[in-house]
Structure 1
Amino acid sequence: MTDQRWAGVRERVEALAALPASSEVFGALGHRWALADPLGEDDLAELEAQLGVRLPEEYRTFLTQVGAGGAGPAYGVFPVRRVWGRWRWEGDGAGLADLSALAEPFPEKGPAPELLDALLAERPEEEDYDEIEDFDDAVEEWDERWEAVLFAPARTTGAIVICHAGCALREWLVVSGPHRGTVWSDPRADDADLSPLLDAEGRQVTFARWYTAWLEEAERTARRSGGTPEV
């Protein structure tokens, strides 16, 4: 069944690629406006069979109607490819996702921020130590605990990394659980926690809105920079 949300989207991306001004769009030098070929229905069926889970509908139809990855938000949508008979996503940080556990639900309340709050309350303070060496040792030990909690695999169960925004900042697509189909920001490289992307009304952003909002802004950027894409 054709998903009308994707009608003309590939053509709009290709139109942008033809404009010199499209280089002004953030991340364009990374994805270079290239879209992978769409997946066939047999390929999609094989991918989901290997994963043991049905992908969110908006993402499934993107894969079969627009492309299996490429031009998109930031440095592009991570492509999904079959390598030696096994399907996987490729990109900076794609390996953070546990593909063997995608059928397990993403945490219902998100990645349990209360664990981080509790740990933050235990962060060493220099004035509590008589010797700077003791303080440095305590901070090093605390940092190890912080990293272990912040990047615990259980916090991203049931999700895949779909985009790299630079400087180890990434975005995830939730595949299973009550947040299925929504996109989450991952700024953990800056010691901030995962959080859902929200629209102007405070609603969680789903894959289709995430992608089309980027495309609309890319078109506006190209127009402001001297080009008008043909749709």
Structure 2
Amino acid sequence: MNGDQAVQAEPAVLRAAFDVDDGGQSKGESTLGWEAVHAFESAHEIVLPEPYRSFVAEIADGSFSGPPAYGLLPVAELPDDWGDDGQDRVLSKPFPLTTAWMWEEDPDRAEDADEILEQVYDHGSTVLGTDGCAMNWHLVVAGPHRGHVWLITDVGAAPFGEQFGFTTGEPGFAGWVRHWAANKPWYDAA
């Protein structure tokens, strides 16, 4: 398999959701290109999960249209409300969670909560964008949940995908985009 070829099962869905035409013209950012994707991956000692990897290389590196509410961020950027310059982020260290965690409701983990929270925000994920009010969507790039999308807020973190019980959407970047494009609420499971 050639890692520098777009995953063909998803491009039409991704282009439509982010308002990108077949010529690669977008209302958002331009494509990153494979050379820049390779440089980003090398600098951070990771390989971005597909189809997000091909999306930023060949379709758009960020977009004002599509999910989340304030648009998809370019791969190397953080939301304006991030709070620091992101210097402590280490994408190659594993994302620490595999199940939802509402830290405000978990007194049993109070002792190590600060250390785990630092890892949740700074290790193993790129920030896809924000729905505002410190509700940031992350794509896990390292660790057991590599390829999964997570919503991380000021009170907790939860994975996106029907197997986690919060939504009817498929897991991963393409499932997250399809769910949004179908105009469904993020967490629509009964």
Instruction: Call closer, same or farther: CA 1:179–1:12 in 2, change over 3 Å.
Output: closer
Following superposition of structure 1 onto structure 2, how do residues 9-24 of structure 1 map, counting pairs within 5 Å?
9-10=14-15, 13-14=18-19
Q: Which amino acid aligns with 2:80?
A: D
Structure (1 or 2) with the greater helix fraction = 1
1:179 corresponds, among 130, 136, 145, to 145
Whole-Å Cα distance in 2 between the matches of residues 167 and 60 of structure 1? Answer: 27
**Aligned residue for 1:22?**
none
Q: Which amino acid aligns with 1:105?
A: P
**Aligned residue for 1:125?**
none
Residue 152 (str. 1) matches residue 146 (str. 2): no
What's the secondary structure of 1:152's corresponding residue? helix
Cα offsets for 1:71-128 (capped at 9, x unmatched)? 2211111113xxxxxxx314234557567521111125347668962268x8xxxxxx
Shift of 1:42: 0.8
Q: Which moved more, 1:104-113 or 1:46-55?
A: 104-113
What's the secondary structure of 2:144's corresponding residue? coil
Residue 118 (str. 1) matches residue 116 (str. 2): no
**Aligned residue for 2:72?**
77
Following superposition of structure 1 onto structure 2, how do residues 1-231 of structure 1 map, counting pairs within 5 Å?
1-4=5-8, 5-7=10-12, 9-10=14-15, 13-14=18-19, 34-70=27-63, 71-73=65-67, 74-80=69-75, 88-93=76-81, 100-110=89-99, 117-118=106-107, 149=114, 152-156=117-121, 157-188=123-154, 192-199=155-162, 202=165, 205-217=171-183
Instruction: Call closer, same or farther: CA 1:111–1:93 in 2, change over 3 Å.
Output: farther
Whole-Å Cα distance in 2 between the matches of residues 53 and 42 of structure 1? Answer: 15
Cα offsets for 1:15-41 (capped at 9, x unmatched)? 89xxxxxxxxxxxxxxxx822111211
Q: Percent identity?
A: 29
Instruction: Call closer, same or farther: CA 1:57–1:116 in 2, change over 3 Å.
Output: same
Shift of 1:65: 2.6
Unaligned runs of 5+ in 2: 185-190
What's the secondary structure of 1:55's corresponding residue? coil
Whole-Å Cα distance in 2 between the matches of residues 109 and 9 of structure 1? Answer: 26
Q: Which has the higher contact order (CA 8 A, sep 6+)?
A: 1
Q: Which amino acid aligns with 1:92?
A: D
Shift of 1:211: 1.4
Q: Which moved more, 1:204-213 or 1:3-12?
A: 3-12
* Structure 1 consecutive aligned stretches of length 4 or more whose deviation exceeds 4 Å: 93-100, 110-116
Unaligned runs of 5+ in 1: 17-32, 81-87, 123-144, 219-231
TM-score by length of 2: 0.71
Instruction: Call closer, same or farther: CA 1:102–1:110 in 2, change over 3 Å.
Output: farther
Instruction: Call closer, same or farther: CA 1:104–1:115 in 2, change over 3 Å.
Output: farther
